[in-house]
């Protein structure tokens, strides 16, 4: 692999019904952009044809994944406690032309396994490990709800920031982002547009690294994230060296605005001095 691993955001497209089957339909993309509607439609038609002759519980899930080498389509159906798996692929040059993957080929990648893991747990919880199986509860237990996707984006942003990975940060931002800095060159200065935000991230990360003096700040935790619709708040600390050379953590908060799962705005605030 030539690039560092990055979590891929999952979208949920809704339920797909065919011949007594109801499956949850997900999408993933290398670029984090939504997969075009015409590709989704071709994938849905391929899954419908696969379900026409299926026999089992009537429950399952499907995934459309725009990857680096191809567009992949998975259809997984529950047969009692066994999962039946079908896989197709389409060339990037013709993303709606799905053909079966031959036996002995690839099955599932690490990004798709995140959804598989959720679906396994949901199926056990709602259908198998209960005295009253609840198909509707299983179908309503969705991986990657918008709130969950936004929380994962904020966690990924924190990891990229701490690693100084500006490319990773920009991958999470909206194409027309806004950033209001809390420290570094021009505290409180507002940057708009991808180029300006990228330069600001680079400068502020450099200033933080210089002021940290080797001190490592705590990672962002899930219980330091609050999400309300398209807005979020995170509580964080950054490392610094205070007067006399003592190492301190300066607390702060970020206010965020989302457009879908992309970060539209980051507005940062910090304490004037360490606590």
Q: Considering the entire predicted model, what is its pTM?
A: 0.55
Q: Are residues 116 and 164 in the same domain?
A: no
83 contacts 76 by C-beta, under 8 angstroms = yes
Write down the pLDDT at residue 2: 46
Asked whether residue 131 falls in the same domain as residue 163, the answer is no
Torsions phi, psi of 197, nearest 5? -65, -40
Checking 47-55 for CB contacts under 8 A at 24+ apart, the result is 47/16, 47/18, 47/23, 47/73, 47/75, 48/16, 48/18, 50/75, 50/86, 51/18, 51/19, 51/21, 51/23, 51/75, 51/77, 52/18, 52/19, 53/19, 54/19, 54/21, 54/84, 55/79
Shared-domain flag, residues 168 and 122: no
Element (H, E) at 240: strand 231-241
pLDDT tens for 57-106 read 799 999 999 999 999 999 999 999 999 999 999 999 999 999 999 999 99
177 and 71 belong to one structural domain:
no
In a domain, 3, yes or no: no
Q: Give the tens place of pLDDT for each residue, 117-163.
A: 999 989 999 999 989 999 998 998 888 667 777 888 898 999 999 89
Among the candidates 86, 110, 144, a domain finishes at 144
Residue 24, exposed/middle/buried by CB under 10 A (0-12, 13-18, 19+)?
Answer: buried
- 213, pLDDT greater than 80: no
Give the whole-angstrom CA distance, residue 83 versus residue 76: 6
Task: Based on the fold, state whether residues 21 and 139 are members of the same structural domain.
Answer: yes
Could you give the dihedral angle defined by the CA atoms of residues 34, 49, 17 and 54, in that order, rounded to the nearest 10 degrees?
-130
Domain range holding 37?
A: 10-144
State the Cα–Cα distance between residues 200 and 120, nearest whole angstrom: 43
pLDDT of 186 over the 70 cut: no
What's the CA gap between 218 and 193, in Å, rounded? 29
Within-domain flag for 125 = yes
If pLDDT is split at 50, 70 and 90, which confidence band does 214 have? low
Question: Residue 254 pLDDT > 80, yes or no?
Answer: yes
Distance of CA 230 to the CA centre of its chain: 15
Per the CB < 8 A criterion, the answer to whether 269 and 252 are in contact is: yes
The set of residues, in sequence order, having a beta carbon less than 8 Å from that of 201 and lying 6+ positions away, is 161, 166, 169, 170, 179
How many independent structural domains does the chain possess? Answer: 2
pLDDT score for 1 = 42
C-alpha atoms less than 13 angstroms from C-alpha of 264 in its C-beta half-sphere: 8
Same domain for 139 and 153, yes or no, is no
């Amino acid at each position: 692999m030539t690039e560092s691993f990055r979590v891929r955001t999952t979208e949920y497209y809704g339920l797909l019904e065919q011949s007594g089957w109801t499956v949850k339909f997900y999408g993933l993309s290398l670029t984090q952009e939504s997969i075009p509607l015409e590709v989704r439609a071709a994938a849905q038609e391929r899954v419908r044809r696969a379900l026409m002759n299926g026999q089992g519980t009537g429950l399952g899930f499907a995934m459309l994944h725009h990857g680096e080498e191809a567009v992949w389509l998975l259809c997984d159906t529950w047969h009692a406690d066994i999962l039946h798996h079908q896989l197709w692929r389409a060339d990037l040059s013709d993303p709606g032309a799905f053909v079966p993957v031959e036996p002995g080929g690839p099955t599932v990648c690490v990004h798709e396994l995140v959804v598989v893991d959720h679906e396994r747990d949901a199926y056990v919880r709602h259908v198998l490990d209960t005295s009253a199986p609840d198909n509707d509860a299983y179908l309503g237990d969705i991986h990657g709800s918008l709130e969950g996707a936004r929380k994962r984006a904020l966690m990924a942003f924190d990891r990229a920031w701490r690693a100084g990975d500006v490319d990773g940060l920009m991958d999470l931002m909206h194409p027309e982002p806004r950033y209001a800095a809390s420290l570094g060159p021009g505290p409180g200065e507002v940057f708009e547009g991808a180029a300006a935000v990228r330069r600001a991230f680079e400068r502020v990360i450099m200033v933080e690294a210089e002021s940290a003096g080797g001190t490592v700040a705590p990672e962002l935790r899930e219980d330091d994230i609050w999400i309300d619709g398209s807005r979020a708040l995170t509580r964080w600390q950054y490392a610094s060296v205070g007067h006399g050379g003592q190492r301190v953590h300066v607390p702060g908060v970020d206010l965020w605005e989302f457009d879908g799962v992309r970060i539209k705005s980051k507005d940062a605030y910090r304490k004037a001095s360490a606590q």
